[in-house]
Structure 1
Amino acid sequence: MKVGSALRKRYAQLFGLLMLVLVATGWAPMAQAAPNCQASSATLSMPTTIVVQPDGPVGPIDGTTGTATIIFNCSGLPASKAANDYTATIQAGQTLATLDSTNNTSGPGITFATSINGLAVLVTALPVQATSRSCLACGPTSTAGYVPGAVTAPSSAAVGSYSGTVTASYTAQLIKTKATTIAAGTIKQTNLIPYWWYISGGSVNSTSQSLGATLVLPAITITLPTCTITAGNNQTVTLPTVDTSQLAAAGKTAGMTPFSIAVTGCPDGVDIASNVFNNGTVSNTTGNLTNTITGNGGAKNVQVQLLNGPGSSLSGALNLSKTSSAAAQNSGTFDVVNNAVTLNYYAQYYAAAAVTAGAVSVSIKYNITYQ
C-alpha cells in the first residue's frame, strides 16, 4: 500500500508543475512596436547647367524645373488607446534654408535665395502646398514651415499594430526676382527643407523628432548665352577675276563683292558692339590687306579693301592698320534682333599703283564683341 501512495504523490507534483507553467504563459505581456517615422532625403532633378539671359525679364526661367518625391513611413500606431495617440504628424521646416526677399510666407510655395544675386528657387508641393508661415506644427520651435500630412491608425487598430505612409511631391523652378543683370556662377548645393515627426497630446505627446531627411537643391552652374558664328570659324570670300585696266592707277577699285558673317544665339537685349578685323598682312599707308602671293604668279601692287555693308551704323572703308580699340570705331555696331544678327561687309580690289596681272590671296581674323 505504501507504493500506491507514493505514485499518487508523484502525479500530484507533476500536475502542480504543469499548472504553474500554464499560469506563467497566460500572464506574459504581448510585444508592442514603439511609434516611429522614417524618410530619406531627396534631391531635386534640376539641370546641372542652365543658360540664363543676363538681362531677361523678371519671372520664371524656362527649362529650369526639377522634381522630387519623399515618402514618409510611420509605424507602431496607435501609441496607446488615448484618442490623440492614433496620429503621427509630419513636419517640414523649423530650419528652412535662407528665404529670398520675395518669399510670400503664405505661399503658394516657398521662395529660397540662391548664391547668385537676382536668382531664386520657388519650391511648390502636392498634395499639401508648401508655405513658410509660422505655426504650432511647423517644427520643434514653432518656426517656419508646413505640414505635408499625417498617418492615422484606424480606431479598431491594436496598440502598435498600424503602419502607413505620407507622400509629398515637390517641383522647383528657377526664377529671376529683380531687374538686374545676372552674372555667371554656381548655385551652391543647399539643404532646403528638413523634416520632423511627432505625436500630439494623448499619453505620449512627443516632442518633434528629426527624420534626418531633407529636400536638397543640387549645385547648378549658371552660364550666359554667347553669340555663335553660324558658318564656323573660317569663311572664304571669292572675288571675281577683273581686267588690270580697271586697276591701272593708284586708288582705283574693282570687283566689289558682298560677304556676311551670320551670328545667332546672342543674349537678349545686346548689340554687336564691334567686329574687329586684325592679325592680317596690312598696309600701314592705306589700311588695306596686302597680297600674300609675292613670288612668281602673284599680282603686283594690288590690295584688298574691306568696307562696312548694310546694317552697320557706319559706312565706308575699314582701316585695318589701326589697333583693336581704334579699329572697333571703324567697324560700326549692328542691332541684334531675336538673338541673331547678320554682319554685312564688302571686299574689293584696291590699286596701290598700276596693277600687274596675277593671283591675289589675303587673310584676316575677326573678333566679335557684344554688349
Structure 2
Amino acid sequence: MKIQHFALALIAAGVANMAMAANTIAFTGTVEANTCTVNIDGNTNPTVTLPTVGVGSLTATGNTAGATPFTISITGCEAGTTDNVAVRFAAHNPDGTNLGSTGSATNVAVQLLNGSAGSTPITFTTGIAQTAAKTINNGTASYDLTAQYYANAAATAGTVLAVTDYEVIYP
C-alpha cells in the first residue's frame, strides 16, 4: 500500500511539474552568404611562441617583454562582398585585462596588442575581447597583432601558457 501511495505521489509531482513548464525559449540566428577561411601566421591550429626572457625584465607591475608579432588572416571570402569582420577572443583563464597563464611562472600574464609593440592593448573584459571591425577587401582582411609578457608583480621563473579561443564575427 505504501508503494502505491509513493508511486501515485511521484506521478502527481511529474504532472504538476509538466503543468508549470509553460516558459518558452526562442532561438535566433543569422545565415551569412559570406564564409571565409581563417589562419594565424599561415596555420589553422596555431601556437604563438614568445621568446625566452629573463625575470629581470619583469620586475614590477606593468613591465612588458618579449613582444612577438603575429597575423590573423581572413581569406577566401566571397568575391564582391564588403562585409565588416572582427575577431572576438575568449580567454580560458582571464587575468584582469589580459590572458592569464597556467604555467609555472608566477605574476606573468600575456597581453595582446592591436598592432606592433607599443600599440594599444586589446582589453579583455570579463574574459572577452574584440578587435575593431575591418571591411573585407577583395575577399580578404587581416589583423596584425602582438603578444607579449605582462608583469602583474615581480615575476618568478617558469613556463608561461595562456590560451584563448577566437572567432571571426560579422558585426
Which residue matches 1:287? 97
8 Å CA contact retained: 1:225, 1:265: no
Structure with larger RCO (C-alpha < 8 A, sep 6+): 2
Deviation at 1:370, TM superposition (A): 2.3
Distance 1:356 1:323, change over 3 A: closer
Over 6 Å off, 4+ runs? none
Which residue matches 1:304? 110
Q: How many residues align?
A: 136
1:249 aligns with 2:60: yes
Unaligned 5+ runs, structure 1:
1-182, 185-222
Correspondence for 2:142 among 342, 357, 368 = 342
What TM-score comes out, normalization by structure 2 length? 0.71
> What RMSD in Å do the two structures reach over aligned CA positions?
2.2
- The 2-side partners of 1:302 and 1:287 are apart by 12
Q: How does 1:1-371 map to 2 (within 5 A)?
A: 224-230=33-39, 231=42, 233-267=44-78, 268-272=81-85, 274-283=86-95, 286-293=96-103, 298-309=104-115, 316-322=120-126, 324=128, 327-328=129-130, 331-370=131-170
Identity %: 39
Which residue matches 2:16? none
Unaligned 5+ runs, structure 2:
1-29
Deviation at 1:232, TM superposition (A): 5.3
Residues 47-68 of structure 1, C-alpha deviations (whole Å, 9 max, x = no match) = xxxxxxxxxxxxxxxxxxxxxx
- The 1-side partners of 2:43 and 2:69 are apart by 18
Distance 1:323 1:360, change over 3 A: closer
8 Å CA contact retained: 2:61, 2:153: yes
Q: Highest Rg: 1 or 2?
A: 1
Residues 191-220 of structure 1, C-alpha deviations (whole Å, 9 max, x = no match) = xxxxxxxxxxxxxxxxxxxxxxxxxxxxxx
- The 1-side partners of 2:157 and 2:110 are apart by 15
Q: What letter is aligned with 2:146?
A: Y
